[in-house]
Amino acid sequence: MTIDDLTGKTGEWLRGEGAMSDVVLSSRIRLARNLADRPFLASASQTERTEIYRTLVDEITQTPTGADAMVVDVDDLDTVDRGILVERHLISHQHACGEGSRGVTISPDETQSLMINEEDHLRIQGLRSGLQLEAIWDDINAVDDAVSSRLAIAFDQDLGYLTACPTNVGTGIRVSVMLHLPGLKYTKEIERMARAARDMRLAVRGLFGEGTDAVGDFYQISNQTTLGKSESAIREAFSNRIIPKIVAYERQARETLIKKRTVKLDDRIWRAYGVLSNARRISGDETQSLLSPLRMGIHLGRFDRFGIAALNEMFLYSQPAHLQRLHGKSLEGQERAIARADYLRERIGAAT
Partner 1 sequence: MSTVCQICMEAKATVHISDMAPTKRDRHLCEDCAEREGIIVKSHHTTNEILQQFIKQKVGLVTGDEFKCDGCGMTFRDFQSKGQLGCPQCYESLSPMLLPLIERAHEGHTSHVGKAPMTAEPTVRRQVGLVRLRRELQDALEGENYEQAARVRDEIEALESQ
Q: List residues binding partner 1 (CB under 8 A).
A: 34, 36, 38-43, 79, 93-94, 97, 119, 141, 144-145, 148-149, 151-162, 164-167, 169-171, 173, 201, 203, 205, 210-211, 213, 224-231, 233, 281, 283-286, 320, 333-334, 336-337
First to last CA, the chain: 32
Nearer to partner 1, 154 or 193 (CB): 154
Nearest Cα neighbor of 201 from 244, 238, 159, 253 is 238
Q: Which is nearer to partner 1, 187 or 330 (CB)?
A: 330
Distance separating alpha carbons of residues 31 and 329, to the nearest angstrom = 36
CB atoms within 10 A of CB 10: 20
Contact 148, 114 (CB under 8 A): no
Nearer to partner 1, 110 or 118 (CB): 118
* Minimum gap (Å) between residue 21 Cβ and partner 1: 27
Nearer CB in complex with partner 1: 76/304: 76
* Structural element, H or E, at residue 194: helix 190-199
Among candidate residues 218, 203, 211, 18, the one with its CA nearest the CA of residue 126: 18
Q: How far is the CB of 222 from partner 1 (least distance, A)?
A: 9
Q: 101 vs 226, which CB is nearer to partner 1?
A: 226
Shortest distance, position 172 Cβ to partner 1, whole Å: 9
For strand 24-33 and strand 173-180, is the pairing parallel, antiparallel, or unpaired?
antiparallel
Of 63 and 101, nearer to partner 1 (C-beta) is: 63
The CB-of-28 to partner 1 minimum distance in angstroms stands at 15
In the chain, the amino acid numbered 319 is Q
Give the C-alpha distances (Å, rounded to integers) separating 37 from 42, 44, 45, 165, 171. Answer: 15, 12, 14, 17, 19
Count CB neighbours of 215 within 10 A: 15
Q: Are 75 and 117 in contact (CB under 8 A)?
A: no
Closest approach, Cβ 307 to partner 1, in A, equals 28
At its nearest, how many Å lie between partner 1 and the CB of residue 140?
A: 11
